[in-house]
Amino acid sequence: TEGVYVFDNFGNYLRSNVVKGIQSVQLANRQMSYFKSGYVYLEPLNTKFSEPIRIDSLGSDIDQVFLLSDQLYYSKDGCLSKKNL
């Protein structure tokens, strides 16, 4: 099955996240961020069940998304841009 599978530090399965149409995924600081349909979603990984939080709209023509601290970096038409969160 397609999706993101979450394991703890000992390799024990915690849960899976099956979200169709994800364009970009990042795992950092116990959070998963992903880009889908023009929005960036932020989902905590330290809970067994959680709902994603939609944090920003960028448009559907974005190639890649990367979160770093309170900055959102994204590439569009071959150019890298930054947005404060």
Which tens digits make up the pLDDT trace of 7-48? 888 999 887 877 777 777 888 877 888 877 777 887 877 766
Whole-model pTM: value is 0.64
Longest pairwise C-alpha distance within the chain: 41
pLDDT for residue 11? 92
